Each structure stands twice: as C-alpha cells, then as structure tokens.
Amino acid sequence: MEIMTSKSEVDYDFAVAEMEARAAQIRAKEQDELLWFVEHPPLYTAGTSAKDSDLVEARFPVYQTGRGGQYTYHGPGQRVIYAMLDLKKRQETPDIKRYVWQLEEWMIRTLAEFGVIGERRAGRVGIWVARNDGTENKIGAIGVRVRHWVTYHGLALNVDPDLSHFGGIVPCGVNAHGVTSLRKELDEKETGHKVTMADVDAVFQKKWKDVF
C-alpha cells in the first residue's frame, strides 16, 4: 500500500487520468494499491445519477465523472482521498456495499477522534452531523467507481472549505439538509482546537488499519 499526499491543488482531469492509469496497473499487478490525499481548486462534479436540475448555478467548472452519486463540490479546505484498492485481494467475496460501508466507517472514526459524531442515514450515502434542533448537515461525501474489482474515486471530508460554494448545487441530490465542516463543528463546540489538514491526515492514516 502506497500513501501519497499532493502539496498543491490538483487539476481534476489530471486526477481522473492518474486514477484510471493506476487502477489499470493494479489490475495488471504492476503497481501497489494507493491512497492519494488531494485538494482540488473549486469545482463541481456530476456522478452517474446527477440530475440537471440539481446544478443551481455553475459558479465553478463542472465535470462529468464516472463515479456513482450525484452532484458534489470539491475545493480548498476539503480533504479528498482517492482510494485505488484491489477488492479481490482485500475481501474473500468482493462486495462494493461493504467497501462503501468501510469508507463511511473510516470517516466516522476519524471524526470521532476530534469529538465530532458522524452518522449514517438510511437512503443517503455519506456522513451526517445531527444538531440539537433536529436538523442535520452533511460533512462527508462518498462516490466510488469499481472496474474489474479495483476501486477508484473515494471520499471527501469537509475540513475547512468555504461552505457557501456548495450553494451552486443541490449536494448529492438532497436539498432538505445543509452542509457543515469539521472546523465549523469544533468552533460551535468551543473546543479551541484549530484543526489543520495535517491533523486530519494523520488521524485518517491512523484509523485506516482499524477499518480496512
């Protein structure tokens, strides 16, 4: 398993091309599996289930992508982790639903390390934070693609992005709820902890072995 972190923002088309190439190399047993930690410049991506009506305002470039899911936003302050894994090697019987559950669990355990409770919701992929007033906001998104049992794309956790940028879309097709970030949740809890991307990366890497 290789872990790679890009220190500057990564162009989306470049990222997809790199993922597809690496996935092919993994299938051919020419390269190891890879976790790639990136940030993107502001952009929207449309998954295979995206509805045109959910693009409210194209404030940023829009990319059609082969991952599952609907519209999502990527941008500075959001940790995107692309996971290129061989499910045949990792699971006795390859199971995509199990894999998505593991990505969710990885985010939940990472958030818990910072004192934030992330939760699943039936019928809604991703991770949510409940509020005392009964509302809930999305803090993490998941969109994966699997080809010949090798995965690519992955997850996105809102660490400290500009949340107003989500206003150009209906995130993941859900307009009844809002979005939040780890920084916002910590500020509202008045923990005094100013989380950094490096902090989050360290916890993700620590929790990896517990889930996968």
Retrieve residue 188's tokens. 């509202």
Phi, psi dihedrals of residue 124, rounded to the nearest 5°: -135, 110
CA terminus-to-terminus distance, the chain: 12
Place of tokens 């939040």: 180
Q: Name every residue whose Cβ is closer than 8 Å to that of residue 178 and which is 6 or more positions away in sequence.
A: 135, 137, 138
Q: Establish whether 169 is a catalytic residue.
A: no
Which helix (H) or strand (E) is 81 found in, with range?
strand 78-84
The candidate with the shortest Cα–Cα distance to 113, out of 39, 190, 35, 195, is 195
Which of these is catalytic: 146, 170, 172, 195?
172
Residue 52 CB burial class (10 angstroms; 0-12, 13-18, ≥19): exposed
Using an 8 Å Cβ cutoff, are 11 and 44 in contact? no
Alpha carbon of residue 95 to chain centroid: 19
Q: Which residues are catalytic?
A: 172
